[in-house]
Amino acid sequence: NAGVTQTPKFRVLKTGQSMTLLCAQDMNHEYMYWYRQDPGMGLRLIHYSVGEGTTAKGEVPDGYNVSRLKKQNFLLGLESAAPSQTSVYFCASSYSGLHTQYFGPGTRLTVL
Amino acid sequence: GQQLNQSPQSMFIQEGEDVSMNCTSSSIFNTWLWYKQDPGEGPVLLIALYKAGELTSNGRLTAQFGITRKDSFLNISASIPSDVGIYFCAGQIVMDSNYQLIWGAGTKLIIKP
């Protein structure tokens, strides 16, 4: 049981490049989340999904897109990376909105 | 937007000391959660609080849900080296008909050698 896994662990992009972060969970959770973590700030919700085929905007969605084509996967896309998107990105999943969120190990993204 | 004020930002303590940190908000929350993040890892849930006034323990950790539902504290007794990390509070709210978490900025715990 791997829990929540994230790919890649580290990435460096140039401004304007695009990339996709992959999150996978093997706990059959309905809910999945993408957060970003910046120094001195709490986690901020980017987008989330309450089930396969659904997505919704969180607190800071601009510049990001997501897709949940399969229940176990939640993809976060950056179409045109900007330096302001330099951050550590965490994926989480939960059985429902009321249940504990389990986090992946994070992806450290640097945009030059 | 909603904000949680978590304090202190960081703590330097000696091994064996007790630790106390808290979160306050101007908003009312249904649930308070305390997470710990080790370096290079994602946050892990320590304690969940569901009712105003609730006091819950998990080993050397004790947390309370404030009576007003606008605050919570976390105490760690007799700290040990593995307690080092960043502790986050999170409050659960309903937004757009879904439950979401609002996070504090974290308290970094450092144990002095």
Residue B1 pLDDT level (bands cut at 50, 70, 90): low
Judged by CB atoms closer than 8 Å, whether chains meet at B9 and A58 is answered as no
Count Cα neighbours of B67 within 13 Å in the Cβ-side half-sphere: 0
- Residues of chain B with Cβ-Cβ distance to A96 below 8 Å are 99
Q: Nearest-CA distance from A23 to chain B in Å?
A: 13
Residue B90 and residue B103 in contact, taking contact as beta carbons nearer than 8 Å: yes
Q: Dmax of chain A from CA atoms? A: 38
Residue B93 pLDDT level (bands cut at 50, 70, 90): confident
By the CB < 8 Å criterion, does A54 face chain B? no
**For B20-71, what is each residue's pLDDT tens digit?**
999 999 989 989 999 999 988 999 999 999 999 999 999 999 999 999 999 9
Q: Average the pLDDT over A86-97 and give the result.
A: 94
Judged by CB atoms closer than 8 Å, whether chains meet at A48 and B98 is answered as yes
CA B111 to chain centroid: 18
Quote the tokens at residue B52.
Answer: 């105003």
Amino acid identity for residue A66 in this structure: V
Distances from the Cα of B7 to the Cα of A105, B1, B80, B100, B107, angstroms: 25, 19, 20, 22, 6
Window A:3-42, CB contacts with B under 8 Å? 4, 40-42
